[in-house]
Every structure is written in C-alpha cells, then in structure tokens.
Structure 1
Amino acid sequence: MTVALIIATYNWPQALELIFLSVLNQRRFPDEVIIADDGSRSATKSIIENFEMVFPNKVNHVWQEDLGFRKSKILNKALKATSCDYIIQIDGDCILHPQFIRDHIKFSETNTFLYGSRVNIQKNKVETLFASKQVRFSSFSKGIKKRTRALHIPLLSVRYKALPSLSSKIRGCNFSYWRKDALAIKGYDEFYTGWGREDSDFAARLLHNGIMGKRIRYAGIVYHIWHSEESKDKVNQNTDYFNQVLDEKRIYPKEGI
C-alpha cells in the first residue's frame, strides 16, 4: 500500500522543522508528506522548501488563507490532494518516534482506524529543545511526562483490539485510517471552526459507518511539544453539535468533501 503523512500546521516553523527532522529519521519513509497549512506565513514555506530538497519522496504543501482556525477544511483539502491508500495524520506540534510510520503500517487493518498516544514535552524543556534540535527521546529523557507512553514495546500492543465504540483517548495528533474510508464519510465536517471536537466527530462518523477503532499503545509514539492553549471560544458550540452527531449516529458531515 502507499502511505501519506499529513501534518496539520499553523505558523510554528520551529516545531515544523523538528517534525521534518524526525521524518528524516524514520525507519520507513511515507510515500508522500502533505503539509496541511491553515494559513501560515512565509517562514513556514521556507522550512518546507528546505525539507523538499532533502526528502526523497513527494512533498506537497497544501495552503489556505488564514481566516481563523479551520483545521477541518485544510484536512479535507489534503485528503483530496493525495491518491495514497493509507493516511497517517499528526499535528504540527508532534515529533515522531523513529518507528512511528512503520508502527502505523504494521498495525493497520482493513475496516479499522488507529489512534496512538502522545508523550508530553514540558514547558521548561521547549527552549533547549529548539536550540538543540532534539528529536530522539526515551522514557528516561529529561523534560517529558507520561513516561510510560514513551515505552516502545510493540509486542505489548497486540493486547489492544479493534472496537466499535468511541474512545476518549482519540487524538487527531496521532491517527491513521484508509483514505477510502475517509472519503466514504465525506471527510471532515467543516462546520467545526475554532478549536474542539473535529477529530472526535471524524472518528465517530467512521464508527457509525462500520469502521472500528484500535488503540496502538507502546507503538506509534509521538512527542507533543508544549504550547499555550488555543482559544476555546467555539468549544461549547462545537460540543453541542458533536453531541447531536452522536445521538443521531450521523455518517455524513454538514459540509465535507
């Protein structure tokens, strides 16, 4: 199968540079890297151009105008821009474990999406992180918490089975699925603007359409860089809408692909 890595980003070129370094450290490269850019300025473009020169496979910068937080819309544009069979999706604040791509491929199954864990890099580590350009970590590394999530022991991952229920552990920063399954539910719901619930909505509608979800713990690890929180001014509106999606077991978005 062909695999695309989609990176959702917005105006944080320092973090994106570390992500690219971690992509270059992968044991298995994705066939395509797509930067789903929600309106970043020219500094981000320069980082992407530098990465294009050294990455051996396709790099696609998908950009939209900055009109506020529109992650769902840019992810749909990214999904339409690729023809790869399998999508691995992260956020632009997550550094990849060297086995990240390989793990998601290894544990992929038909009619199933995967969601993994994130190890939190603490606030007091961020300055030195960027200065040193560190992209390799272990459960003993300084400046991280949730250390058990940093244990890479894929043999233990087999304990986790695909389930038809929505897990509170699902995060769009560590997520993978078959592109055909995403297109079958018409992608992300662009109703969601502002932070909150767009990833859970997408997962819920996959489940409503018969696709099961499987957690991959002890594999598929990302390291989340601390940052100040996004504005949550739309979270109540988004939560109310998401609850309707759950109650009605909706499959299709109000506005999607």
Structure 2
Amino acid sequence: MSNMPKCTLVTPTYNWPEALDLLLSSVLNQSVLPNEVIIADDGSSNETEELIKKYQQKFPVPLIHVWHEDMKNRKPAIMNKAIAKAKYEYIIEIDGDIIMNKHFVEDHLTFAEKGTYLFGSRVNIQENILGSIFSKKTVHFDIFSKGIKKRTRTIRIPFLMNFSKKTDIRSPKLRGCNMSFWKEDFIKVNGFNENLVGWGIDDSEMIQRLHNIGILGKRLKFAGLAYHIYHKEQSKSHIEINNEIEKQTTERKITFIEKGINQYL
C-alpha cells in the first residue's frame, strides 16, 4: 500500500442530501480511505450543511465543505475552488449521486500512474428502488442486486487491468462521475473551464486539454466500480455552447483556458 499516492476525494453536490448521505456512508466503507474528502457544494441549503457536520464528527479523515452561493449551475467554479484546497497529489473525482464499491478508492490508487488519468464506468440504480435504498441506507450492491442496469459492470477482477491499454484519444465512455488524475496535471491545464455554462461537458473538455499536453487515458474495467443513483436529466439548454467550446479545444489543441483554477491558487 505504501507506494500508492496520497489522494483527495472530491465530489460536487447540489441540494440532494439523501444521495450525499449514501455517498459519505460508502466512503466510510472503503478498504483504503482517501486522505481527505472535499465536498464541492454548488450552493445547497442548510440541510446539506447539517448532514456534512454530522459526518464530520465521526469521519476518520478530514471532511471539508467548500460552498459558494447558488447562482444556477456553476459546477466548474466550485470544483476548481475545491481542488485548489486539496492537500494531496492525486485527485479522485466522483459525482454527488455515486455510491462507491468498497474497493473504489483502492482501485484508483493501485492503477494511478504518472502521465496518465483513469476513468471508470458506472452501474445505474433504477428509479423504482430509490425509496428502498434511501430508507435502508443501502451502500452494498452486487450482480444479483434488484433494480440495477448493466450488471456486468458490477464484476470486480482487478487482475484484468494488467491488460488494459492506454489511449491518447479521449474516450466517448468518459464520465466525470468516476475518474482520477494528478493535481499537478490539472493545474497545468488550468482546471475546469468556467466559461462553460449549465450542465455537461466540463469533465470531457478538461480531459481533452490533458490529452493536448500529452497525458494518456486508461479505462478502469473490472475495477473502480461505482453505482449511480437515478435522477431526472438536467436541463441541457446550454449544451450547444459547451459542445462548441469542446470542439475548439479539440481542433485547436488548446491546453490552457483563461478562467480556471488559477484564480484560487
């Protein structure tokens, strides 16, 4: 374990304390704990703050709450503010509606490698079992669990990662809900692009800039298992603008954006 990097687990959240409760409970369950956890709060109400305070009292590692005012979706900004505060060299990013398999952090750290970022997939938890998982505070799922989609993604065989190839092209399978990268690489490309508005593209646009400076991607398969709690799709009203920004980043091989993490360092 000693050769694993030290890490900060970062998760964005916005007014969904029930989901955050299960996420934090799944952190407590980890076979290898992150060195700290930072919640990047995009303007939630007091209920979220109360939940975090409750967990802070029993958490085995620092649990840090970074909040800014609610001015509609500003996830890139709150994620930059949170990662600027991260004390450790390796960042594991998950969404605020993710329940982690107990080996999730261990898998990300085991396969962390300089010059590379990791991205995993997710198993979708369906709407019809939400009442049950919230009332029972369920954080354990497997291939036989009710109400999940894509069951093969519940299988963990980390040995098979030895055959996983690196890629210099951004994968269409990339999801910000399950990825990890070196903080120094993130700073080199100036983090998330705050000119992106509304939902979507912020993770893949940042990853494209990592590729543009020569960082390679590696997909976690049969490792880094994550379960995504169902929710209604967010508004995609700005997606065309964001898609255009990402297209420019790709075509012009942009490596550094003007409005990023440097404002908070």
Scaled by the length of structure 2, the TM-score of the pair is 0.96
2:77 to 55, 73, 78: 73
Return the offset for 1:161.
1.6
Return the offset for 1:237.
1.0
1:254 is aligned to 258
* Equivalenced residues, count: 257
1:40 is aligned to 44
2:97 is aligned to 93
1:233 equivalent in alignment to 2:237:
yes
Return the offset for 1:223.
0.2
Question: What is the identity, as a one-letter code, of the residue corresponding to 2:260?
Answer: G
Aligned-partner SS, 1:190: coil
Aligned-partner SS, 1:158: helix
2:30 to 26, 45, 67: 26
2:176 is aligned to 172
2:106 to 88, 92, 102: 102
* Residue ranges of structure 1 left out of the alignment (5+ in a row): none
1:204 to 205, 208, 218: 208
1:64 is aligned to 68
Question: What is the identity, as a one-letter code, of the residue corresponding to 1:73?
Answer: A
Taking the aligned partners of 2:110 and 2:183, their CA distance within structure 1 comes to 17
Question: What is the identity, as a one-letter code, of the residue corresponding to 1:50?
Answer: K
1:17 equivalent in alignment to 2:21:
yes
Given that residues 103 and 220 in structure 1 are in contact (C-alpha distance below 8 angstroms), is that contact kept between their aligned partners in structure 2? yes
Taking the aligned partners of 2:184 and 2:245, their CA distance within structure 1 comes to 25
Percent identity over the alignment is: 46
Aligned-partner SS, 1:73: helix
What per-residue deviation string (whole Å, max 9, x for no partner) do you get for residues 98-117 of structure 1? Answer: 00000000010000000001
| RMSD, matched Cα | 0.8
Question: What is the identity, as a one-letter code, of the residue corresponding to 2:155?
Answer: L
Taking the aligned partners of 1:40 and 1:120, their CA distance within structure 2 comes to 24
Taking the aligned partners of 2:20 and 2:79, their CA distance within structure 1 comes to 17
1:181-196, aligned counterparts within 5 Å?
Answer: 181-196=185-200
Given that residues 68 and 193 in structure 1 are in contact (C-alpha distance below 8 angstroms), is that contact kept between their aligned partners in structure 2? no
Question: What is the identity, as a one-letter code, of the residue corresponding to 1:234?
Answer: H
Return the offset for 1:193.
1.4
1:52 is aligned to 56
Return the offset for 1:162.
1.5
Return the offset for 1:245.
0.9
Taking the aligned partners of 1:115 and 1:55, their CA distance within structure 2 comes to 26
What per-residue deviation string (whole Å, max 9, x for no partner) do you get for residues 207-253 of structure 1? Answer: 10111000001100110000011111000111111111111011011
Question: Structure 1 segments of 4 or more deviating over 6 A?
Answer: none
Scaled by the length of structure 1, the TM-score of the pair is 0.98
Given that residues 64 and 74 in structure 1 are in contact (C-alpha distance below 8 angstroms), is that contact kept between their aligned partners in structure 2? yes
Question: What is the identity, as a one-letter code, of the residue corresponding to 2:244?
Answer: D
Aligned-partner SS, 2:108: helix
Return the offset for 1:196.
1.4
